[in-house]
Structure 1
Amino acid sequence: MTDTKIDYSTTLYLPQTDFPMRAGLPEKEPQIVARWQEMGLYKLLREDAAGRPKYVLHDGPPYANGNIHIGHALNKILKDIITRSFQMRGFDSNYVPGWDCHGLPIEWKIEEENYRSKGRAKPDLSQPAAMVEFRQECRAYAENWIKVQGAEFQRLGVIGDFDNPYTTMNFHAESRIAGELLKFAKSGQLYRGSKPVMWSVVERTALAEAEVEYQDYESDTVWAKFPVKEFFRRVATGPGENDFRLEEVPVSVLIWTTTPWTLPGNRAIAFSPKVQYGMYRVVSAENDYGPQPGERFVIADALVGSCAEKAKLTFEKESAVHAAVLAGMTAEHPFKGLGGGYEFVVPLLPGDHVTDDAGTGFVHTAPGHGREDFDAWTDAAKDLRAKGIDTAIPFTVDDAGFFTKDAPGFGPDREGGAARVIDDNGKKGDANKAVIDELIARNMLFARGKLKHQYPHSWRSKKAVIFRNTPQWFVHMDKELDGYGLPAGAKKAQSDTLRTRALAAIDATRFVPAQGQTRLRAMIEERPDWVLSRQRAWGVPICVFADEDGNVLKDDAVNARILEAFEKEGADAWFAEGARERFLGSRANEPWTMVKDILDVWFDSGSTHTFTLEDRPDLKWPADVYLEGSDQHRGWFHSSLLEACGTRGRAPYDAVITHGFTMAEDGRKMSKSLGNQVFPQDVMKQSGADILRLWVATTDYWEDQRLGKSIIQTNIDAYRKLRNTIRWMLGTLAHDEGEEVALADMPELERLMLHRLSELDEIVRKGYDAFDFKRIAKSLLDFAVVDLSAFYFDVRKDALYCDAPSSVRRKASVVVVRHLFDCMVKWLGPLLPFTTEEAWLDRNPGARSVHLEQFPDVPAGWRDEALAEKWRKVRLVRRVVTGALELKRAEKAIGSSLEAAPRVFIADPELAAAVADVDMAEVAITSGISVVAGEGPADAFRLDEVKGVAVVFEAAPGTKCARSWRYTTDVGSDPEFPDVSARDAAALRELETLGRL
């Protein structure tokens, strides 16, 4: 040795890494995305997974009409976590993104951007050339947004076949969608019917339940009189049972409705045989209009009080009115004679939907404006016709919300023109006022009011809809299928309808969370027939021919020509000049009408399983899982279920996962007006996609989640701790020379860490199987912070930095850190793909990608429950020691725990046994510790949560080692290294021998 003073820092195995503490994710992540694209990571994943069992998550298609929002980010990140996790666990987990491209919102945008904003008239779409041109404009608009959204999804770290996604407007897809429709036609499930459907006046189209959301709405309410025809009561004329005469009494049935505008469409009144009714006479009245003393009404007994209060009058009951009497009763329409109409009788019909919870106990029945009204009317139609009653259902409101000629006095014959229910902007028209004014003029109004309640709105225009009777195309829910579409050998159920098939499929499907099954089942149980038609331009047409009675042409040759044309030219072929003659061929002279309605876009998306899962060889049918927001129980989950059950007899998925919606931090809905929106683009620009992904991974995604500045900051803080843990491991592994240490030769602390990895391996794998990402993320974060940074790394720094090159303890620790890094980075790969890629390439500069790796195989021999239980007790004792030292540090009695050599009193025999053969000074990071049996002095430091342990502080004796900074009594024992301990002197001597000093 020379006499030159040694710089001991150069003799330590200090961490060395270029992995930065400051992540710089907004700058680093786009570089990683570019690298993945340049190296063809998606293709490499497919090649690497060739021959493995497939695991397929089928992508629910987002709508191609704008930048992605936070809901998209949540959805795509969850899907990416799933596909990556299965890919890294021995599966070929191919993700094919898709887009929903047809439908009204795109039409609106084209009309606004290409026509209204430029002062151009919208083309006449009844002309084939104009229709095709307009549809091409829609297609170009969708294509642009597919590119934009695709780039944004990839910026989130999503890996998939973005060069070859599926789209519903792809020619092959349009052909397949049309083919699925023709299967429903062939099986007899498709039919044309006239039913009340939810109609958007603003959008001029029918809507399905999936396209409707319920919002608060204030409705006008009226209580209206329906004068009864020939109502007689018994009047006694003597004491005998037969001494009476029948006296005709003027009386009205009282109805209540929240839609006064539907009264011109009234054709019946519904009552319940389970409700008690009575005839009530007005005794006194204090109102400006309405009933006067002496007037009589039939009302449900339970509701007479609320009716009287509303009309400001008092009633006296004259008699009970039994259901048998009501069943034979008819009334006059309150508008009888108006405009020469309403001369028909209004029968009273029994109805299970009638209650005495609100209103009058009678339900005004307009079969053209309500589902239950329609059902009650059609169920009674045969009996009514036998009585000479016309059962035709009027079309009282047109597609623009105006009353028609079927509403005399309110339609085109009205002075000033037809009244309107809703205008083009979704605002209330003058229909309610016109109806109420007419009731008042005719003395048919009992009372009026307002009611705030939940009412259906279009989820696109956000405007109220109406129920309107209109011819549409439907799919039967309850028509027997007789095994149609079932796979060969499948057993047909006793009742084989679309509804029974769908319910059976729901029961066979795994739902996460489980309550999704109940929700979807309830929807299928109650849903009406599926309305497929839309009165729009952009979409797949209902490509059938029908006669005047609605019978569909079933001709395989015609269908083949249609599908072949769609495959080559897209669905535009249906609207091209000469299309009818082209497809009908030799049957063109027959009286077949070419249907021009467009398919519901939910049928499009419900059919995606056919041209993706079935038609792509890199996928499989059925999918292992569908994942979407909880609103898709009435949307994509729903339509996919019905479509596949109708044509294949089962669901196109084995499992359904639902996530909630993202709210602001205060729990309110995100909205532009409140200024509380969080945009994924902003989060990525300011903090990085991995921060957003960490939020997704740590939230209860199946419930509604919250997001805002403080929540983002919480995730940034957690990320920093995790990144620092990874960084320290990388720095330590800079000294990894690849040596191995047998498990049996490892110190207990190293074997404890391997045991923890074994425990975590089970948690991680089960968590990914259960789609419980929060448990995985929390377990790994806690492990990184609590077990590693605050315990194992802290304890082992002395050995790793200072021990001699030949030290088994140091070598064993390096081996364990190697395993820790390998496991942690791979397990976190699906959650934090950018950070783990950066760390993996720092550790393995020549590697391709961590995402081409598999989860580590954790040896069963690492599991050691007895050792874990022992060290659980050791760490309890350590907690008390570190607590005592923290107190001394706060009092500035010490600066470092190495200045201490406390006495530890242990009265608990189990804890004493646990630490008996453990170097507690090493574990507590002190220069010495003496363990004493017993309770310890009264003023010793204790923790309430750890009974039987007390600590008395004592300063460490000896001299501070210039290399390790530990206080020992053997500093200077080696004259060549007079300022270091014997352990450090030996290490220096070994380094010198190896030429490293």
Structure 2
Amino acid sequence: MTDTTDKIDYSKTLYLPQTEFPMRAGLPKKEPELVERWQQMDLYKKLRASAAGRPKYVLHDGPPYANGNIHIGHALNKILKDVITRSFQMRGYDSNYVPGWDCHGLPIEWKIEEAYRAKGRNKDEVPINEFRKECREFAQNWIDVQTGEFKRLGIEGDFEKPYTTMNFHAEARIAGELLKIARSGQLYRGSKPIMWSVVERTALAEAEVEYQDYESDTIWVKFPVMAGSDQLADASVVIWTTTPWTIPGNRAIAYSPRISYGLYEVTAAENDFGPQAGEKLVFADALAEESFVKAKLQFNRLQDVPAEVLGAITCAHPLKGFGGGYEFDVPLLAGDHVTDDAGTGFVHTAPGHGVEDFEAWMDNARDLESRGISFAIPFTVDDGGFYTKDAPGFGPDREGGAARVIDDKGKKGDANDAVIKALIAANNLFARGRLKHTYPHSWRSKKPVIFRNTPQWFVYMDKDLGDDTTLRSRALKAIDETRFVPAAGQRRLRAMIESRPDWVLSRQRAWGVPICVFADEDGKVLLDEAVNDRIIEAFEAEGADAWFADGARERFLGSRAGEPWKQVTDILDVWFDSGSTHSFVLEDRPDLKWPADVYLEGSDQHRGWFHSSLLESCATRGRAPYDAVVTHGFTMAEDGRKMSKSLGNQVFPQDIMSQSGADILRLWVMNTDYWEDQRLGKTIIQTNVDSYRKIRNTLRWMLGTLAHDTGEDVALADMPELERLMLHRLAELDKVVRKGYDDFDFKRVVRTLTDFANIELSAFYFDIRKDALYCDAPSSTRRKSALYVIRKLFDCLVTWLAPMLVFTMEEAWLLRYPEADSVHLEQFPDIPAEWLAPELEAKWQKVRDVRYVVTGALEVERREKRIGSSLEAAPVVYINDPELVAAVKDTDFAEVCITSGIVVEEGEGPSDAFRLDDVANVAVVPARATGRKCERSWRLTDDVGSDPDYPDVSARDAAALRELGIKPAA
């Protein structure tokens, strides 16, 4: 620097911060520019090249559904995944993120059907592969839209070659996984009651069901005793149910040998229908009074009814004589599922409409056959919720047409009313009522489902697989061997696997991968490798559409086409699709590996993707396809309520990005306890904006200061203690940051770094060192040491935060290193072990404690306007603690406190001295500094004018001016 004017402009002689890094971030404008830059430079390709040969770390992407714009849940999910992959990439791994999409299934099919209905078209009249083509195009459109939205969030991955479940190779591999399961004997066709969506006309798995409040009709029904006991010859057994429509499907009554039952007689009745005086009824003793009161009856208990008596009797169906059906006997069966908590102590058993009913019926099949009772299970309700011919009097033979359980819109049909009227006419309705309770609803349509007996394809959970294991035991072992974050996820998934029924694979839809097997009339699957090979080869070339093409049966069966094999037309549950992604993504891509290091999704995926992936992989490979499972919660509105369109409290990621920037959204994700449900709204966004500004201002000051950095290194031994303290803190933080990323504890990382930047840097280290950095001579070891430390601080903070705040750290890095390609191609800095100096931290904590009292005293002086800045002060500090005295006297304490002078005295100090309760044994007496004000540094010192060439500055500043080549004023 030179200055030849008559009067020196000291501001031009200072090393003041200089940077193009703006205080106002302008993220909504800057971020798309960086996205475009990364596209043009092909950052993804450079990342892969830079990581070649490193050990792989793989996060396998759970596929979102390709049917709409991304929402805040997508943003939370993808940001978490992006932070994980980037953090491992910057710590010595090849961490390749391959995004994927779930493309098959009902939601897309519905959208195409809606478009058809709007145009007056009938889906059933459209060739199936034409319909499937429209579904494929619909999915691809939304994949393209979501790709752009994910990139705008700052997500980096192989968006040029993502995986999709509708890709031809993917469809071939999904089919191949099914055929593996078939070959191993785990696939079977069965007739069981499964959850059925009338609205969607398809079977549902447990993963596709949620439980909501629902109001049901409830009825108590009399089953007249027909045989088996003289003492009950004129009595009736009473059941209670919340599904009156299942009465036509009743085939038995379940009781419990552990429950006390009695025979009761009605003594008086006050009702419009139901039992009258003299009737005899059998109830569980614990529930009799409650039931009789409900029916407005008075009663007497006549005698005990032992379990052996109940097991010997048969009853008449309560609809006997109605519609020309129901003439069969209804046996009583012992069942472990029967309790006396509610109802009557007897469970109406319709094996076609409940899993427990079905199991109780099948457990007693041999006994029923020996008693001459047919154990065939009727199909009383069809796929549209209408009664069939197996429900005489309510089905197609009914005047006015079949009654219906649920209609196409999910509303209650007329089946309950029809059954109740028939029961009243038969004098077999004991009582009726209504009950609010939780009931299964379709996850997608939000409409109630029914339990319906239909032929479906299942995977056994408990069949011996030839190695003394079952699918259930394999899955439970895999869960025990998997790391869960948070740990509670392990218990949740284990409980689901322990209790789940066999896996229902089939769906009655059109858009998906078919269950590509041939079976005989009994459901036996054709196991012919030549046939299977032809199927897989065709799927690879043409996709799963090949299964539905004209002549497909003959093409695949070949010489066996003349045999009576039936081509299955059901499609696979989409959870099987996504559960198979590990095969065609992790196994088939050389840039990935199997198993994945981690799966991360929302906590609902314990019943979804985590669950189906576990079962599919255990069925075909004997272990889970992942080593760790991380789960996040759901985003609620700011007041804790669920976000909904009707409440108008939704927060859209697109709005946050356009108003504040994606880095603000990313910072919010980092600041949350994401494994729990989190909240988001205007106030929370603003809080993160404020936090971001502090981080940005710290970076801005460092960039401005480093504009004067010559890159000169300083030996650790030559540095002042304060600089060595800061390097020690970096060494400590390095451990915290790396462990935080390893533990997926991002909040700990960002909070630790934010606090460090705000408290230890901006409010302490930078504040102290500004004088030396701005005013010291170029040769000053203190200044060069500070620049070295700030250089290291910048490199560490920017790289450590780069996985989180991808745009801001890129902007800062490129301003600091304009020749660099990207901060995201960097590694976290290696921290020398010699930087660790815990003894310095202990000492300087004492110094900071005393400084805290001094700054508190000076704040009072400023507030009372006795001083303007701390440089006008020279306080006296009294310390009554030898350790604190030793620590403080070993420093330039005036510099530490940013005062022009300071006096440290041992002792308690005057009674009116300033003190703080937080720091014992320290008292401060404020005083103004003496001497003249240095016009360059603004410090008040006694040596201003000691250099005649520079009469208005201190000796330190005069020496700096001379070294800078600043000529004295004329």
1:913 CA drift (Å): 2.2
Of the three residues 111, 114, 118, the one matched with 1:112 is 114
Match of 2:125, SS state, is: coil
Residues paired across the two proteins, number: 968
1:459 CA displacement:
0.8
SS in 1 for 2:531: helix
1:374 to 358, 369, 375: 358
Residue of 303, 309, 324 corresponding to 2:293: 309
Question: How far has the Cα of 1:995 moved from its partner?
Answer: 12
* Partner residue in 1 for 2:218: 221
> What does the per-residue CA deviation read over 1:624-678, in whole Å, with 9 as the maximum and x for residues that have no partner?
1111111111111111111111111111111111111111111111000000111
2:743 counterpart residue number:
770
For 2:890 and 2:590, how far apart are their aligned partners in 1? Answer: 61
Equivalent residue runs for 1:387-536 within 5 Å: 387-483=371-467, 495-536=468-509
Cα contact 2:519–2:526 (8 A) shared by 1: yes
Cα contact 2:4–2:967 (8 A) shared by 1: no
Partners in 2 of 1:586 and 1:120 — Cα distance?
A: 39
Q: For residues 613 and 231 of structure 2, what CA distance do their matches in structure 1 show?
A: 62
Please report how far the alpha carbon of residue 996 of structure 1 lies from its aligned counterpart in structure 2 after TM superposition. 14
Instruction: State the one-letter code of the partner of 2:392.
Output: P
Letter matched to residue 480 of structure 2: D
Distance 1:54 1:703 in 2: 29
Of the three residues 539, 556, 565, the one matched with 1:592 is 565
* Equivalent AA in structure 2 for residue 63 of structure 1: Y
Give how far 1:247 is off.
5.2
Kindly indicate whether residue 819 of structure 2 is the aligned counterpart of residue 817 of structure 1: no
- Rate the CA distance shift 1:928–1:463 in 2: closer, same or farther, 3 A: same
User: Are 2:766 and 1:793 aligned?
Assistant: yes
* Aligned mates of 1:133, 1:726 — CA distance in 2: 57
Q: Which sections of structure 1, spanning at least 5 residues, go unmatched?
A: 233-245, 484-494
> 2: distance between equivalents of 1:835 and 1:170?
36
Aligned-pair CA distance for 1:314: 3.0
Q: TM-score by structure 1 length?
A: 0.96
- Shift of residue 32 of structure 1? 0.5
Q: Which residue does 2:68 correspond to in 1?
A: 66
- The answer to whether the Cα contact below 8 Å between 2:90 and 2:827 also exists between their aligned partners in 1 is yes
Per the alignment, do residues 956 and 994 of structure 1 end up closer, same or farther by CA in structure 2, a change over 3 Å counting? closer
Pick the aligned partner of 1:942 from 902, 915, 924. Answer: 915
Residue 231 of structure 1 contacts residue 251 of structure 1 at CA under 8 Å; is this kept in 2? no
In structure 2, the residue corresponding to 1:338 is in which secondary structure? coil
Q: Distance in 1 between matches of 2:278 and 2:8?
A: 116
- Name the residue aligned to 1:124: 125
Alignment of 1:881 onto 2:865: no
Show CA shifts across 1:175-222 (max 9, x none).
010011111111111111110010000000001111111111111111
1:263-287 deviation digits (Å, cap 9, x = unpaired): 1111111111111111122233333
Q: Alpha-carbon deviation of 1:124?
A: 2.4
* Contact kept? 2:251, 2:350, Cα under 8 Å: yes
Kept in 1, the 8 Å contact 2:225–2:232? The answer is: no
Shift of 1:598: 0.5
- Which of 95, 98, 105 does residue 96 from structure 1 map onto? 98
Alignment of 1:174-189 (within 5 A): 174-189=171-186
Deviations 1:233-255 (A, max 9, x none): xxxxxxxxxxxxx6555212111
Q: Does the alignment pair 1:755 with 2:756?
A: no
**Secondary structure, counterpart of 2:264 in structure 1:** strand
Could you tell me which residue of structure 1 aligns to residue 706 of structure 2?
Answer: 733
Matched residues in 1 for 2:438 and 2:534: separation?
Answer: 47
Cα offset, 1:967, TM superposition:
1.2
Asked whether the 8 Å contact 1:660–1:703 carries over to 2, the reply is: yes
- Name the CA distance, whole Å, in 1 between partners of 2:877 and 2:131: 85
CA–CA distance in 1 between the matches of 2:531 and 2:15? 80
Select the residue among 142, 145, 149 that pairs with 1:145: 142
SS in structure 1 of the partner of residue 123 of structure 2? coil
Q: Which moved more, 1:304-313 or 1:548-557?
A: 304-313
- The Cα of 1:511 is off from its aligned counterpart by 0.6
Superposed CA deviations along residues 396-444 of structure 1, whole A, max 9, x for unmatched, are 1000001111111211122221111100001111111111222222222
TM (norm. structure 2) is 0.98
Instruction: Report the 3-state secondary structure (helix = DSSP H, G, I; strand = E; otherwise coil) of the residue aligned with 1:229.
Output: strand
Partner of 1:359: 343
CA change 1:32–1:994 in 2 (3 A) is: farther
Whole-angstrom distance in 1 between the partners of 2:388 and 2:865: 90
Question: Is 1:99–1:146's contact at 8 Å kept on the other side of the alignment?
Answer: yes
Deviations 1:301-331 (A, max 9, x none): 2212321232223332211112111111221
* In 2, Cα distance between equivalents of 1:318 and 1:43: 85
Change (3 A) 1:733 1:446: same
Secondary structure of 1:446's counterpart equals: strand
Q: Which residue of 1 aligns with 2:14?
A: 12
Query: Are 1:908 and 2:910 matched, yes or no?
Result: no
| 2:53 matches 1:51 | yes
SS of the residue corresponding to residue 778 of structure 1 reads: helix
Q: Which residue of 1 aligns with 2:924?
A: 951
Q: Which runs of 5+ in 2 are unaligned?
A: none
Deviation at 1:3, TM superposition (A): 7.3
Which residue of structure 2 lines up, in the alignment, with residue 236 of structure 1? none
**Equivalent-residue separation in structure 1 for 2:433 and 2:919 (angstroms):** 68
Q: CA deviation at 1:102?
A: 0.5
1:898: Cα distance to partner?
1.0
Contact in 2 for aligned 1:384/1:390 (Cα 8 Å): yes
Which shows bigger deviation, 969-978 or 370-379? 969-978
Q: 1:562-573 residue pairs with structure 2 within 5 A?
A: 562-573=535-546
**CA–CA separation in structure 2 for the residues paired with 1:8 and 1:712:** 42
Q: Secondary structure at the match of 1:42?
A: helix
User: What is the CA deviation profile of residues 4-51 of structure 1, one whole-angstrom value per residue up to 9, with x for unaligned ones?
Assistant: 111111011100000111101110011101111100100000000000
Q: CA RMSD in A?
A: 1.4
**How many Å apart are 1:994 and its aligned residue?**
10
SS of match in other structure, 1:228: strand
Q: Could you say what secondary structure the match of 2:451 adopts?
A: strand
- Counterpart selection for 1:576 from 542, 549, 560: 549
Match of 2:451, as an amino acid? F
Distance in 1 of aligned mates of 2:232 and 2:366 = 29
Q: What is the alpha-carbon distance in structure 2 between the residues aligned to residue 273 and residue 775 of structure 1?
A: 57
Residue identity opposite 1:660 in structure 2: G
Pick from 217, 232, 249: which aligns with 1:265? 249
* 8 Å CA contact 1:880, 1:943 repeated in 2: yes
**Is this contact kept in 1: 2:913–2:925, CA < 8 A?**
yes
- Is 320-329 or 419-428 further displaced after alignment? 320-329
The runs of at least 4 consecutive aligned structure 1 residues that moved more than 3 Å come to 246-249, 993-997
After the TM superposition, which of the residue ranges 61-70 and 927-936 deviates more from structure 2?
927-936
1:985 shift after superposition: 1.2
CA distance in 1, matches of 2:219, 2:50: 70
Tell me the residue number matched to 1:41.
Answer: 43
| Counterpart AA for 1:631 | D
Query: What is aligned with 1:29?
Result: 31
Does the alignment pair 1:622 with 2:595?
yes
Distance 2:96 2:228 in 1: 73
1:2–1:108 CA distance, 2 compared to 1 (3 A): closer
CA distance in structure 2 between the aligned counterparts of 1:418 and 1:652, rounded to whole angstroms: 48
Shift in Å, 1:926: 1.1
Work out the CA distance in 2 between the residues paired with 1:722 and 1:16.
18
> Does structure 2 conserve the Cα–Cα contact (< 8 Å) formed by 1:231 and 1:250?
no
CA displacement 1:814-836 (0-9 Å, x = unmatched)? 00000000000000010011000
Q: Does 1:79 align with 2:81?
A: yes
Q: Secondary structure at the match of 1:314?
A: strand
Q: Match for 2:365: what amino acid?
A: A
1:908 deviates by 2.4
Counterparts of 1:850 and 1:658, CA distance in 2:
28
Is 2:250 the partner of 1:277? no
Residue 841 of structure 1: CA displacement?
A: 0.2
CA gap 1:247/1:587 in 2 versus in 1, 3 angstroms: closer
Residue identity opposite 1:702 in structure 2: W
Q: How does 1:717-732 map to 2 (within 5 A)?
A: 717-732=690-705
